[in-house]
Amino acid sequence: MVKIGLLGLGTIGRGIVEIINERREYLKAATGVDLRIKTALVRDINKKRDVDLSDIILTDNFEDILGNEEIDILVEVTGDLESAYDYITRGLKAGKHIVTANKAVVSKYFEEISQLAAEKDLAFLYEASVGGGIPVLKPLREQLALNRIDQVQGILNGTCNYILTRMVNENKEYDEVLKIAQRLGYAEADPTADVKGHDTLRKLRILASLALQGKIQEEDIILYGISNISKLDVENIKKMDSTIKLIAEAKRVYNGFTAIVQPTIVKNNNYFANVNMAFNSISFTGNFVGELKFYGAGAGKDPTANAVLSDCLDIALNSYRKGNPLGKESLVNLNSELMGRYYLRISKASRDILERLEDMTKELLTDEQVIKNKKEGFDLAIITKLVKLSSLNDLIANLGLEKDQYFLAKIME
Amino acid sequence: MVKIGLLGLGTIGRGIVEIINERREYLKAATGVDLRIKTALVRDINKKRDVDLSDIILTDNFEDILGNEEIDILVEVTGDLESAYDYITRGLKAGKHIVTANKAVVSKYFEEISQLAAEKDLAFLYEASVGGGIPVLKPLREQLALNRIDQVQGILNGTCNYILTRMVNENKEYDEVLKIAQRLGYAEADPTADVKGHDTLRKLRILASLALQGKIQEEDIILYGISNISKLDVENIKKMDSTIKLIAEAKRVYNGFTAIVQPTIVKNNNYFANVNMAFNSISFTGNFVGELKFYGAGAGKDPTANAVLSDCLDIALNSYRKGNPLGKESLVNLNSELMGRYYLRISKASRDILERLEDMTKELLTDEQVIKNKKEGFDLAIITKLVKLSSLNDLIANLGLEKDQYFLAKIME
């Protein structure tokens, strides 16, 4: 019997309990492993919970789990950053394997926790932290280990992708779709971490570190969220026979890397254009395997719980790659070299702004008549020439725009 | 040091040698494993080979490898069915782990070899046998183990997909594109196993057995190849805003399963429509994970060699799921229940044939004028109503058509 200490009984925690309840006998017959949740850590022991918790001891004291020698694996699904760090490091020091779905803690403390787990000869697995239910980190770590991986790209956040998909499909404004998404459970009450791109950035940090084998941390990644996009932008993008996605990308370039999360305009016949609603997709380019793509549910109770439990099974069956897979390559941050063609829309623009953008402008998307007739400022939209992102940003800074006054998106070639 | 006995030095075998030559030091540093090929079995020891074989002993006698106690893993990449079976079973009996890329031998002897490996407590791994370089069997076996999988679908043969893609893109006849594919190395001199669908069928047998957890063998699968497709069919299909793919599909239905390989018409906005040229893709639907899709190079020297070597690494690092993953569910073959709407084209058709098809016809694609004016027979193309495949086949049999006189394709809903 393999005994789990479950830290957190929120959505994912409940999903884990439900899957074990449903499939425990099947699992025993198929693999010989009897997975059982011994104790679950919750804030409020007396809260009514809509799940069968028989045989599970509830506690509001982490020490009850830490001090229980019967417990082999800590499954951390609290979602909280600092308490998760505390539980995980203390758990490892107490000799317990760790499985987590918490991208924030993996992203922030990746090297430190990996190192500690390696020293203690314990598992530190986190399949659910990237791509939700998509099996992607284990294939990356175990099946692409011989490859030099040159690129990782992905749609990594279901909330953003859901909002963008519905804006494109239904010609609605951002705020309206965000409210729908919140009502339907696709966005949280405070959507900041998703729509500003922080969640995507954390996942890219994890993927990029594993794939490029260098130390690529949160602060190494340029970040743009989606919250400034407007209905007008979507209309312009659709005229380009394209759609818009929040794409995370890390690339090996020369002796370094680039890493960025940004709204990206993709042609309708591009692979990523068909990754819609709350789905995620991740692609890798390896020197031997070529391009690989993985697609599936990027979040949700059952897919995420399945990913967590497949890590637990790997520990129970000793079928995972041991040791610290984080690379030792020292790669230089070359984000200052990022180039591309960009879509830029500025609200309340003036003739002056239009003129100052002139050197960078390849195509003006705003009608000349609109520019001529608007005295109070107009919505200016351009497609740039091939330019350095840093130069474009310098220019934007010089224009003295408010943060929410413009929207910038890369055009994928 | 982990020592490999390499059976076969064809394309894949050479790829394996090249990757080890290139990445051996990297691998040692990253994982501590020193993979080395000790001996390679070849037909002709003296043949010139365009690869660095230093430190590798060549032999034309399998006994030299079998009897060498230093050798831990047999890597079987001969491509031959019966000699592979002989090597694999004798290898297991002699205590050697087995890695193979040979779908024919896995498909034909799946249960027997798995059983023998389990008895001997040895690895029998075959990632390269399905999907070439796509990591798919290990995620399926290890990360979806808790799911009840209800469907597996895939484009599993690069040769067929290459031919179909070029026929659609370039409006060329089948024979013309086949010749190009042969010249460019995408099709073999004898293309039968690919274009008649046998290769796809074997891969479906492997996928379906693992995914549905029942015993689904080659003879349980209905098979249609692509070799009867004509330029006219492609023209008709393109008018349907669709394209054509050879799709393998196994489904759980009631207490049984259906399993079929058939040319399938997919809408241009369908995911599979964007899987082109020699690429493959596999999708699963699991009760917890939902729909997952994997995409990548379905064949080729480096991707396939990478898959073989990732199995070897799993053995060296003891990071694979042990035991026999083949299911014990007894599922009834319900292929007789397969239904759908179909595209049917009959060459040298007559008014009589047209009339006898009438009850099944939803839409006539052939112009009435063509039918009226042709005295010697005409190319008849119809879209059927929702019909049972078995009824449609009965009718086709009754029409007394030659085997190459008609082309049948499922229309994917």
CATH number given to B137-297+324-335: 3.30.360.10
Q: Which of B38, B96, B196, B203 is catalytic?
A: B203
Residue B324 above 70 pLDDT?
A: no
* Residue A162, helix vs strand vs coil: helix
Calculate Rg over the CA atoms of chain B. 23
Q: Which distant-in-sequence residues (6+ apart) come within 8 Å of A292 by Cβ?
A: A144, A283, A284, A285, A286, B133, B134, B135, B294, B295, B296
- Interchain CB contact of B169 with A (< 8 Å): no
pLDDT value, residue A323: 75
pTM of the model: 0.96
Per-residue H/E/C for chain B: CEEEEEECCCHHHHHHHHHHHHHHHHHHHHHCCCEEEEEEECCCCCCCCCCCCCCCEEECCHHHHHCCCCCCEEEECCCCHHHHHHHHHHHHHCCCEEEECCHHHHHHHHHHHHHHHHHHCCCEECHHHCCCCCCCHHHHHHHCCCCCEEEEEEECCHHHHHHHHHHHHHCCCHHHHHHHHHHCCCCCCCCHHHHCCHHHHHHHHHHHHHHHCECCCHHHCEECCCCCCCHHHHHHHHHCCEEEEEEEEEEEECCEEEEEEEEEEEECCCHHHHCCCCEEEEEEEECCCEEEEEEEECCCHHHHHHHHHHHHHHHHCCCCCCCCCCCCECCEECHHHCEEEEEEEEEEECHHHHHHCHHHEEEECCCHHHHHHCCCCEEEEEEECCEEHHHHHHHHHHCCCCHHHEEEEEECC
- Average pLDDT rounded to a whole number, residues B205-218: 95
Find which of B146, B267, B280 to mutate to test the A interface (most A CBs within 10 Å of its CB).
B146
pLDDT on residue A387:
98
**Model pLDDT for residues B98-141, shown as the tens digit of each residue:** 999 999 999 999 999 999 999 999 999 999 999 999 999 999 99
Helix (H) or strand (E) holding A166: helix A158-170
Output the pLDDT for position B79.
85
Residues in chain B: 413
Q: Is some CB atom of chain A closer than 8 A to the CB atom of B293? A: yes
* B273-300 pLDDT tens trace: 999 999 999 999 999 999 999 999 998 9
Q: Which is nearest to B170 in space by CA: B241, B235, B246, B228?
A: B235
Q: What span, in angstroms and rounded, lies between the C-alpha atoms of B271 and B281? A: 10
What's the confidence (pLDDT) of residue B233?
A: 98
Angle of CA points B360, B365, B367, to nearest 5°: 125
Give the mean pLDDT of chain B.
Answer: 96
Domain ranges of chain A: 2-125, 137-298+326-335, 338-411
Q: Is A383 left (phi over 0), alpha (psi -120 to 50) or beta?
A: beta
Residue B320 near chain A (CB below 8 Å) = yes
Q: What is the pLDDT of residue A157?
A: 98
A384 touches chain B (CB under 8 A): no
pLDDT number for residue A325: 64
The pair of structure tokens assigned to A324 is: 């610290």
CB contact residues (below 8 A), chain A span 90-149, against chain B? 127, 133-135, 138-139, 142-147
B265: its two tokens = 């018409």
- Report the distance separating Cα B166 and Cα B159, nearest Å: 11
For B2-125, CATH gives 3.40.50.720
- Please judge whether B145 and A310 are an interchain contact, meaning their C-beta atoms are less than 8 angstroms apart: yes
Q: Tens digit of pLDDT for each residue in B353-362?
A: 999 999 999 9
CB pairs under 8 A between A and B: 163
Positions in chain A whose pLDDT score sits under 70: 324-325
The alpha-carbon gap from B255 to the nearest alpha carbon of chain A, in Å, equals 17
How close B369 gets to chain A, by Cα (Å)? 36
Residue pLDDT, tens place only, B16-54 = 999 999 999 999 998 899 999 999 999 999 999 999 999
Structure ipTM over 0.90, yes or no: yes
- Is B267 noted as a catalytic residue in this protein? no
Q: Is the pLDDT of residue B325 over 70?
A: no
A322 contact B CB<8A: yes
- Considering the segment(s) A338-411 as one domain, its CATH architecture is 2-Layer Sandwich (3.30)
Tell me if chain B has a CB within 8 Å of the CB of A309: yes
pLDDT 10s digits, A23-61? 999 999 988 999 999 999 999 999 999 999 999 999 999
CB-based contact (8 Å) between B319 and chain A? yes
Confidence of residue B373 (pLDDT cuts 50, 70, 90): confident
Contact call for B142 and A323, based on CB within 8 A:
no
* B144 contacts A310? CB cut-off 8 A: yes
Q: What residues of chain A lie within 8 A of the CB of B271, using their CB?
A: 274, 295
| CATH class of the structural domain A137-298+326-335 | alpha beta
Q: For residues B272 and A324, what is the distance between their CA atoms, to the nearest angstrom? A: 37
Q: Would the pLDDT of B172 be above 80?
A: yes
What was the pLDDT predicted at A324? 66
Nearest CA in chain B to A295: B293
